[in-house]
Amino acid sequence: MMTGVLPLVGRRLVASVFILLIVSFLLFVVLHVLPVDPAAMSVPPNATLAEIEAKRVEMGLDRPLYVQYGIWLGQVAHGDFGTSIHFRRGVLGLVMATLPATIELALLSMIVATVLGLAGGLLLFHTRGTRTEKAIDFGSILLLSTPEFLWALFFILMFGVALPLLPFTGRLDPNMSLPAGTGFLLFDSLYAGRPDIFWSAVRHLIMPSLALGIAFSPTIMRVLRSSFLDVYQEDYIHLARLRGLSERRILLRHALKNAILPTLSLMGVQFGFLFGGTLLVEVIYSYPGLGNLMVDAVRNADLPIIQAVGLAYCVVVLMINTIVDSLYLVLNPKLRLR
C-alpha cells in the first residue's frame, strides 16, 4: 500500500515547491501594487514626509519589484520571513504562535462538517423519493446559502446570550492558563494531565467549529447523495441484493466504500475553503489564531504578515490535499494497481 503512497507524496512535495514559489510571487506582486504605504505605517505617526521617504528607501520599497522579491526570497531561504510592521517582531514567530490554534479549529470544524455531511448524505439517500427528502434537501440548501459568519453570530445569540450555555471568547476560561507545549491546546492539556483545561478548550471550540462545519456540510451531503445514486446503479449492488444481504449491510458495507471516494476528494478541496473561512469566525469569536492575525495585518497594511500568512494557508492546503490524495489511494485499490 505504501509503495503507491510514497511516490505520490514525493511528487507532491516537488510540485509544492513550485506552487509555493508561484503563490509567493503572486502574493508579493499583488501586495506591493496595492495603494497602501508600508513605510508610512512603519514610522511613528509624528514622522515627517522626509522621514517616511527615508524609511521607504531603508525598506527597499524604492527598488524594482523583482529585486524586492529576490531579496525577500533570499531571506526566506534563510528562515527570515521579515519583521512585522505593527508588532515589530519576527513574522515567523507570530505565525507559528497562532497557526496551531487555527489548525485545531479547522480540523474540528472539518470533523463537524464530515459527520453532518455523511449523516445528512445517508439520510438524503435513505429518504430518496419521499417528502422527507424534499424537506432535508430544502434544509441543506438553506445551510449552503448561509455563510459561516452568520452562523457564528446566530450561535452567539442563541447559545451565548439567549441560552447562556457556552463561552464565545478566546480559547479558555479566564481562570485558566495555557499549558506549555505545542500550541495545540487539546493535545497540550491532555499531555499535561489537565482534563479541566481540555474541557474548557472543547467548550470554547464548540460554537466556532459548528459555525464553520455547518456551513461546509451541505456540499458533502449532496455529493455523497449523488455518489450513492450512481453507485446503486452498479451491478455489484444488484448482486448483493440477489445474495440476500440486508439493505443496511449493502449501504454501509458495500455502497459507502465506493460512494465516499468522490466525497473524500471534495473534502480535501473543502478544507482549503474552510481554512480560509476561519478568518471571520476567529474575529467574531475572539479566537487567537492565524485568521485573527491576518485581519489585523490587513487593517495595518502589515505586508510581511499578510505574505507569510498567505503562504501558511497555502502550505496547509497543499498538505491536506496530499493527505487526502494519499487516503484516496489507500481506499481505492484500483488506483494502486495502475
* Burial class of residue 148 (count of CB atoms within 10 Å of its CB; 0-12, 13-18, 19+): buried
**Burial label, 41 (beta-carbon count in 10 A; 0-12, 13-18, 19+):** middle
Nearest-angstrom CA–CA distance, 68 and 308? 15
Beta strands in 143-262 (DSSP E): none
Does position 245 interact with other proteins (CB under 8 A)? The reply is: no
Rounded to 5 degrees, what angle do the CA atoms 20, 290, 219 make?
A: 80
Q: How far is the CB of 241 from other proteins (least distance, A)?
A: 11
Residue ranges with strand state E in the chain: none
Residue closer to other proteins by CB (options 134, 241) is 241
Query: 207 Cβ partners below 8 Å, 6+ apart?
Result: 152, 155, 156, 159, 160, 166, 168, 285
Residue with Cβ nearer other proteins (139 or 288): 288
Binding test (CB under 8 A) with other proteins, winner from 8, 9, 31, 41: 41
Closer Cβ to other proteins, 5 or 36, answer by number: 36
Binders of other proteins in range 47-86 (CB under 8 A): 47-52, 86
CA 191 from chain centre, in angstroms, equals 24
Residue for grid cell 484516496:
328
- Compare residues 49 and 77 and give the one whose CB is closer to other proteins: 49
Among 145, 247, 257, 333, binds other proteins (CB under 8 A): 247
Residues 94-133 that bind other proteins (CB under 8 A): 94, 97-98, 126
Inter-helix orientation angle 131-144/195-231, to 10°: 120
Looking at beta carbons only, is 33 or 337 nearer to other proteins?
33
Q: Which residues ranging from 268 to 327 are in contact with other proteins (CB under 8 A)?
A: 283-288, 292-293, 295-296, 299-301
DSSP bridge partners of 83: 90
- Each residue 196-235 as x (binds other proteins by CB under 8 A) or -, in order, gives ---xx--x--------------------------------
**Which positions lie near other proteins, rule CB under 8 A?**
35-37, 40-41, 43-52, 86-89, 94, 97-98, 126, 153, 156-157, 160-161, 164-175, 177-178, 199-200, 203, 246-248, 251, 283-288, 292-293, 295-296, 299-301
